[in-house]
Structure 1
Amino acid sequence: MSRRSIAEILAGAVVLAVAAVFLFYAVTHSGRTLTQGYALTARFDRIDGLAPGADVRVSGVKVGSVVDQRIDPETYLAVVTMRIDPGIRLPTDTSAEITSESLLGGRYVALVPGGSERMLADGGTIEATQSAISLEALLGRFIFSVTDLVSAVGKEAERQPSAPARPGN
């Protein structure tokens, strides 16, 4: 073999090794977990912006992922299925809330463990839930209330008789 072909083979091997490292990093940091845990479900009125692969957190620490979401055809509620780390046991009175990471960030499910002695089993359901709060709806309500307040103040000012001008001023 010539020196050139050996150099080309080594360069190709280095490129493949670097690609494998990038692939490994992408898979391990994508939010998808390779380990299996137990499944829990929760029903929400709204899940705006929550996607499969989103974090499930307890006290801000990731303990699982959202693996599925669907609509219940009878109640029209969003049913979210989560996969939880098997080392984390949650009481049956645990509550779930969909919250934002930041104003521009994605959504995740925040779990707040209760005080029950009994624990949720694989396939269990979290009954106490709070749906996602829509930032657009909150801003719309604020703008409407400010507009309403300004018009009410304007109408009140029109109703009040203006003070007569004092002589000598």
Structure 2
Amino acid sequence: MQQRNWAEVATGALILLVAAAFLVFAIGQSGRSLSTNGGMTLTARFDRIDGLAPGADVRIGGVKVGSVLEQRLDPRTYLAVLRLSLQPGIELPTDSSAEITSEGLLGGKYVALVPGGAADMLRDGGTITITQSSVSLEALLGRFIFSVTQMNASGGGQEQDGEKAPAPAPR
């Protein structure tokens, strides 16, 4: 009986070890990390960050250079505040900008950094002051549909001298 209990404990320990190894492998392959790895941490404030979550990519020129560490709401200004982690060796001019963009029509969101041209560089803990918030695809589509509906309602058929203009000839 003692032999069987020892075998069960050893089997359980082996399973936990394999699960831990798989977790470390999965995190390493995802490109995400559990720490800032000694890189620079920056802050940026946005009006809206729709669909952006902690762990999202931070990119310069389409190349991943960091990730979003944290997001919170500033209770005084009601702006979304992001804390960004950049890889070691990345330096950004003080007039750099940050914008939230998407990978495509159905893709995830990420923070795109656009380096400026200033001689001074942002320091660890610095703030990116030039930001562009997330563009809501639903809001743009709604505005487009509304404008097309309004255009059709007000000028569906153009009148000439009180009469409707003839329809264009088919091609």
TM-score tier by shorter-chain length is: 0.7 to 0.9
Which shows bigger deviation, 117-126 or 12-21? Answer: 12-21
- C-alpha contact 1:36 1:83 (8 A) present in aligned 2: no
Structure 2: distance between partners of 1:136 and 1:51? 19
Question: Partner of 1:69: helix, strand, or coil?
Answer: strand
State the Cα distance separating 1:76 from its structure 2 match.
1.0
Which shows bigger deviation, 12-21 or 113-122? Answer: 12-21
State the Cα distance separating 1:106 from its structure 2 match.
1.1
Q: Please say if 1:86 is aligned against 2:88.
A: yes
Aligned length: 160
For each residue in 1:90-141, what CA deviation from the matched residue of structure 2 results, as whole angstroms up to 9, or x when unmatched? 1111100000011111111000001111110011000100000000000001
What residue is the counterpart of 1:105 in the other structure? 107
What residue is the counterpart of 2:27 in the other structure? 27
Judging changes above 3 Å, is the alpha-carbon distance between structure 1 residues 147 and 117 closer, same or farther for their aligned structure 2 residues? same
Structure 2: distance between partners of 1:162 and 1:119? 64
For each residue in 1:32-88, what CA deviation from the matched residue of structure 2 results, as whole angstroms up to 9, or x when unmatched? 354232210011111001110001011111111111111111111111110111210
Structure 1: distance between partners of 2:164 and 2:42? 66
Judging changes above 3 Å, is the alpha-carbon distance between structure 1 residues 162 and 98 closer, same or farther for their aligned structure 2 residues? closer
Structure 2: distance between partners of 1:120 and 1:102? 30
What residue is the counterpart of 1:66 in the other structure? 68
The one of 47, 50, 63 equivalent to 1:48 is: 50
- C-alpha contact 1:53 1:67 (8 A) present in aligned 2: yes
Judging changes above 3 Å, is the alpha-carbon distance between structure 1 residues 87 and 161 closer, same or farther for their aligned structure 2 residues? same
What residue is the counterpart of 1:131 in the other structure? 133
Structure 2: distance between partners of 1:136 and 1:61? 27
Aligned partner letter, 1:118:
D
State the Cα distance separating 1:150 from its structure 2 match.
0.9
For each residue in 1:5-58, what CA deviation from the matched residue of structure 2 results, as whole angstroms up to 9, or x when unmatched? xxxxxx999867764553222111162354232210011111001110001011
Question: Partner of 1:62: helix, strand, or coil?
Answer: strand
| TM-score between both structures, scaled by the size of structure 1 | 0.80
Structure 2: distance between partners of 1:81 and 1:73? 16
Structure 2: distance between partners of 1:40 and 1:144? 39
CA RMSD of aligned residues (A): 2.8
Structure 1: distance between partners of 2:79 and 2:136? 16
Q: Which has the larger radius of gyration?
A: 1
Structure 2, gaps ≥5 residues long: 1-10, 166-171
